[in-house]
Amino acid sequence: MKVYAHRGASDQYPENTMLAFTQAIEKGADGIEADVQLSKDGICVLIHDETINRTSNGMGWVKDYTYRELLEFEFNNGKDVEEWVKIPNLEQLLALAKEKKIPLVLDLKTDCIDYIGLEEKVYDLVKKYGLLDQVIFSSSNMDSLTKLKGIDPTIQAGYVFERRFEDNAIKARHYKIEYLHPRYSMLTDNIVKKALENGLKLNVWTPNKEENLEMVNDYGVNMCITNRVLAAKKIVNKEKS
């Protein structure tokens, strides 16, 4: 089982920030998961929520601020960190991934807001950095994934969901999506068996408690996307020893 850092090492550091991403690499993560949205001036920024309310000292919608305006806020997400933490743009993470040779899951947050052109912008940047073979494009919006597949059928894509596993598995197969990204609590022996029989790889989110990390590891999933990189790596390494 591969261990990907959910929004970076977000158990200890502000989520979706360069600090969290670099710390995830230090902790031995096999890859990093991050969320992508668009600023008012069309910059791909890394943030999960559609507003900045929860993770910064500001208020309002991401889409209503230019990137320069977003940089005026502190994105420490309530974490006790010494430095002023800024919202990163996608290129900063791609540069880090290229330098450190670390794979990524990029989750396009288009389920609530239809960010016009987000798919093309993300694809073009990933291609610019030569990382198409190192990135899984994910979304809970199948339209975004089919747009990406229309741009380049060879990309790797993952469909995010937390309900109706079998219906979504059928949908993923129909659209030639390689990965299912269900919530970890959806897993059962039968579901895992059927997914594997149909050639669908399972990348589950967010098992964080040790018993849940052990459970998904025992199921033999392809990847767990977790806030607790060290705990997950300990379980994986224990099995290998």
**Does the structure show a pLDDT above 60 at 149?**
yes
Residue (of 51, 48, 50) closest to 59 by Cα position = 51
174 is catalytic: no
- Residue 77 and residue 106: Cα distance in Å, rounded? 20
Question: How many helices (DSSP H) and strands (DSSP E) are in the chain?
Answer: 9, 9
**Confidence grade of residue 83 (pLDDT, cut at 50, 70, 90):** confident
| Residue 53, pLDDT score | 98
Over the chain, what is the mean pLDDT? 96
User: Among 48, 86, 181, 228, which one carries the catalytic annotation?
Assistant: 48
**Does the structure show a pLDDT above 80 at 239?**
no
Neighbouring residues of 177: CB distance < 8 A, sequence distance ≥ 6: 142, 145, 149, 157, 158, 159, 171
User: Among 1, 6, 7, 89, which one carries the catalytic annotation?
Assistant: 6
| Residue 229, pLDDT score | 98
The pLDDT > 90 percentage for the chain reads 91
**Confidence grade of residue 241 (pLDDT, cut at 50, 70, 90):** low
**Does the structure show a pLDDT above 90 at 70?**
yes
What average pLDDT score do residues 42-67 get? 98
- Residue 20 and residue 6: Cα distance in Å, rounded? 10
Q: Are 236 and 16 in contact (CB under 8 A)?
A: no
pTM over 0.85: yes
State residue 220 phi and psi, 5-degree precision. 75, 35
**Confidence grade of residue 238 (pLDDT, cut at 50, 70, 90):** confident
Which H/E stretch holds residue 206? none
| Residue 82, pLDDT score | 79
What average pLDDT score do residues 31-57 get? 98
Domains of the chain: 2-51+89-240 (3.20.20.190)
**Does the structure show a pLDDT above 90 at 8?**
yes
181 is catalytic: no
Q: Are 180 and 200 in contact (CB under 8 A)?
A: yes
pLDDT tens sequence across 164-205? 998 999 999 999 999 999 999 999 998 898 888 888 999 999
